Amino acid sequence: MNTQGYHYVIEASGCDPKVLTDADALKRILLESAKVGKMEVRSTYFYRFSPQGVSGMVIVSGSHISIHTWPEKGYAAIDVYTCDIDSKPEETLNYILEKIGATYAHITEIERGIEDEDGTYTHTILSWDEAPQEE
C-alpha cells in the first residue's frame, strides 16, 4: 500500500449552529461526503456532548473523516485524510462545508507519507482560505 496521502485540516466558521448540534445530521453529512469523495466507509462513531457540541469520526478504507463542533461559536474543526489515490477528498470537504452552512473556511492540505531517498518520511503543507461564491 502507498504511504503517500492527503490530509486536509479545515477550520470552518459561520456554520449553522442547529446542524452543529445534531449528531444524526452530522453523521448523515459525513457518510454522504464519503460517498461523494469516492471513499469506502468501514466504521462510524459520533458523540453528542452536553449541553452542546458533537465529535464524530468516519473510518474509510484510505483513513478517516472527522468533525468536532462548537455550535455556540458556529465553528467546526474538520479533518479529511486519505491515502486512496482514487478518492476525491476535496469533493468530500466541499460537500461538508456546504451542508454545515460554513461562510468561511481556512483549509490546510498536508501531503503526507512522502518517502525520502534515505527511507525517512516527510510532508508538505499548503494553506488557503475559501468563502462562498456569490451567484
69-96: pLDDT as tens digits: 999 999 999 999 999 889 999 999 999 9
Mark 96-114 as b/e (b = at least 16 C-beta within 10 Å): bbebbbbeebebebbebee
pTM of the full structure: 0.92
Flag whether 82 is in a domain.
yes
- Say if 50 falls within a structural domain: yes
Is 135 among the domain residues? no
The count of structural domains within the chain is: 1
Domain assignment present for 57: yes
| 53 part of a folded domain | yes
Query: Which residue(s) pair with 84 in the sheet?
Result: none
Q: Which residues are catalytic?
A: 63, 68, 83
Query: Which pLDDT band holds residue 3 (cuts at 50, 70, 90)?
Result: confident
Q: Is the pLDDT of residue 128 over 70?
A: yes
Query: Does residue 119 belong to any structural domain of this protein?
Result: yes
Per the structure, the complete domain to which residue 54 belongs is given by 5-130
What's the whole-number average pLDDT of the chain? 94
* pLDDT, tens digit (0-9, with 9 covering 90-100), for 23-71: 999 999 999 999 999 999 999 999 999 999 999 999 999 899 999 999 9
User: How many Å is the maximal CA-CA distance in the chain?
Assistant: 51
Instruction: Report if residue 112 sits inside a domain.
Output: yes
Confidence (pLDDT) at 135: 47
**Tens of pLDDT, residues 97-119:** 999 999 999 999 999 999 999 99
Q: Write the CATH number for 106.
A: 3.60.90.10
Q: Is 42 left (phi over 0), alpha (psi -120 to 50) or beta?
A: alpha
